[in-house]
Amino acid sequence: MEIAKILTDFSLSDHEETIREWYDGYSFGEQTIYNPWSVTNYVDNLPDPPGPHWFNTSSNILVYEELIKGGIEIKRDLEKILSGEEIRYPITETITFSDIGRKPANIWSFLYFSGYLRADDPRQDIRGRSTYRLAIPNKEIGYAYESFIDSMYTKPGGGLDALMDWFVDNNPVNDLEEVLQSLSISLLSIYDLAKLPEAVFHAFVLGLLANLRYVYDIRSNTESGLGRADILMIPKTSMYPTGYVIEFKSIKPDEDIEVQAEAALLQIQEKQYDVPVRSAVISPDNVRHLAVILQGKKVIVRE
């Protein structure tokens, strides 16, 4: 009701969708809640474009530190959230920082009560606990997660920015290999890779690519063609017309990395992973197939 009055009083009816996308997403019982601080700042700053207002009023270091310390389980759940997939967890009302340390999954209760997640659709699990579907509530909070990714993966001289530039500028594949190799050496732990190398590297790259979700529909482990593609990047705008299909493979030290790359590219073709990408692009020439092969911390990319 308050939002409707603001839109009417300030003659901003054409801003309704923007305000909803950026600052809606919360609820109190059956009532939809917008972030009042952010809405008032958005209106006050017009004609400036929408941006993060509440997010900039406090430090997010503690949130970032807890996500970083969460390990593989948390990073894989974060991958799902960033790609729009569903994760479900109980919400613990009495959460403390010490609880997060004892049980990493408690980070989601902490993020929910801190305003970084929306929880809905309660269901009982097999233990009788109420679990909730968790999601990023709006674009403003999405910006916070982007900043988290920046803080983890941006390094002087390239890193995340170089990776983003590669995808939007349609560069040679050897440039992508150099960027991923540099990021792998600098930021990935060989101990994490030793446990679930393909899953860890997949989550690592997907987390980085989440920064492009406003211009690409980024899908992970989704049914496509005759199987499940690791990552699909489907253009949302004609400004960035190239679509991507990415297949990951982790191989042993004695395996031929070039042979495995060819096998990954053949898998993309035979399983027709690119069907949803081709349906969205102007020309089949605008679809690139990428095989990313991980051998220890060595990375090669072929297309």
List, for residues 15-50, the tens digit of each pLDDT value: 989 998 898 887 766 777 888 888 888 888 898 988
How confident is the model over 108-134, as pLDDT tens digits? 888 888 888 888 888 988 878 889 999
With a cut of 50, say whether residue 52 has pLDDT above it: yes
β-bridge pairing 31-33 and 130-135: unpaired
pTM above 0.85, yes or no: no
* Mean pLDDT to the nearest integer, 212-238: 85
Tell me, what's the pLDDT at 269?
92
Beta-bridge partners for 124: 130
CA 10 to chain centre: 35
Distance separating alpha carbons of residues 137 and 44, to the nearest angstrom:
22
* Mean pLDDT to the nearest integer, 253-262: 92
* Mean pLDDT to the nearest integer, 99-116: 77
How confident is the model over 65-76, as pLDDT tens digits? 667 666 667 777
Tell me, what's the pLDDT at 191?
43
Q: What percent of the chain has pLDDT over 90?
A: 16
Burial 139-178 (b: 16+ CB within 10 A, else e): bbbbbbbbbbbeebbbeeeebbebbeebbeeeeeeeebbe
Q: Which helix (H) or strand (E) holds 240?
A: none
110 phi and psi angles, rounded to 5 deg: -60, -45
Distance separating alpha carbons of residues 35 and 33, to the nearest angstrom:
7
Distance separating alpha carbons of residues 76 and 107, to the nearest angstrom:
13
* Mean pLDDT to the nearest integer, 249-275: 92
CA 46 to chain centre: 29
Task: Report in angstroms the alpha-carbon separations of 194 from 58, 90, 188, 212.
Answer: 37, 30, 11, 29
Distance separating alpha carbons of residues 295 and 201, to the nearest angstrom:
11
Tell me, what's the pLDDT at 277?
92
* Mean pLDDT to the nearest integer, 156-171: 73
The answer to whether the CB of 21 falls within 8 A of the CB of 27 is: no
Task: Report in angstroms the alpha-carbon separations of 216 from 70, 127, 275, 280.
Answer: 27, 38, 16, 11
Q: What percent of the chain has pLDDT over 70?
A: 81
With a cut of 90, say whether residue 295 has pLDDT above it: no
* Confidence class for position 153, pLDDT limits 50, 70, 90: low
